[in-house]
Amino acid sequence: MKILVPVDGSDNAFRAIDLACRLAGEGNEMLLLNVVGRGELPEELKRYARVENIEGPPAWQYEQLIASELIGRAVERLRGRGFENIDTFVRTGDPAKTIIAVARETGTELIVMGSRGLGALKGLAFGSVSQKVSHSAPCQVVTVS
Ligand SMILES: Nc1ncnc2c1ncn2[C@@H]1O[C@H](COP(=O)(O)OP(=O)(O)OP(=O)(O)O)[C@@H](O)[C@H]1O
Ligand SMILES: [Mg+2]
């Protein structure tokens, strides 16, 4: 069975990894996914950089870098719990749609994810990504808080 854990760096997402490990039996494949945005800088900052002749790596490269660091830590966590059958994905796009698309592509049977993520809004039980995925996923979804 394939278990997909979408991670955004939040504590809940790391707890989702731990629960996935406890739910998984031997021979299960763990899939880790981080969805990055388009990495666009704010227009004002782009203009400033142009005027001041500042050249840096494009913002999307930072995002990719952080994403691979994050995925690396998630992999370590899985390995630390004895899992070796791990596949990783860093994709660009809308988080919920991309999580659902990867679940479909891979034939994922279970998604384990945080109920909330890095979004700061307190008081709501579910974030927008976990809500959308729970509604439209092609498989069972377990949310962790
Ligand atoms: N960009 C992402 N890539 C991979 N997984 C994600 C991403 N964003 C969220 N998730 C997954 O969804 C879970 C719930 O996060 P969600 O974004 O719904 O909550 P939030 O950040 O608190 O709210 P919101 O984003 O609506 O402000 C996370 O714990 C994580 O498992
Ligand atoms: Mg979020």
Structural domain boundaries of the chain? 2-144
Across 22-26, 103-107, 119-123, least confident range: 119-123
Distance, CA 110 to ligand 1 centroid (Å)?
17
129, 130, 142, best to mutate for ligand 1 pocket (most atoms within 8 Å of CB): 129
Q: Would you state the pLDDT for residue 35?
A: 97
Q: What is the pLDDT of residues 81-109, one digit of tens each?
A: 999 999 999 999 999 999 999 999 999 99
35 CB near ligand 1 (under 6 Å):
yes
33 CB near ligand 1 (under 6 Å):
yes
Q: Which atom of ligand 1 is nearest to the CA of 128?
A: 26
Query: Which superfamily, per CATH, for 2-144?
Result: HUPs (3.40.50.620)
Which residues, other chains included, contact 92 with Cβ-Cβ below 8 Å and sequence gap of 6+? 35, 36, 37, 38, 60, 98
Distance, CA 128 to ligand 2 centroid (Å)?
7
Across 2-6, 58-62, 120-124, least confident range: 120-124
Joined together, the tokens standing for residue 52 give 């001041």
Quick check: 83 and 21 in contact, CB under 8 A?
A: yes
- Under the banding of pLDDT at 50, 70 and 90, the label for residue 132 is very high
- In degrees and rounded to multiples of 5, residue 32 shows phi and psi of -115, 135
Indicate the helix (H) or strand (E) that contains 3.
Answer: strand 2-6
Q: What is the pLDDT of residues 34-83, one digit of tens each?
A: 999 877 778 898 899 899 999 888 888 889 999 999 999 999 999 999 99
Q: How many whole angstroms separate alpha carbon 76 and alpha carbon 79? A: 5
Ligand nearest to the CA of 7: 1
Evaluate the CA torsion angle 119, 90, 88, 56 in order and state its sign. negative
| pTM for the full predicted model | 0.92
Distance, CA 95 to ligand 2 centroid (Å)?
8
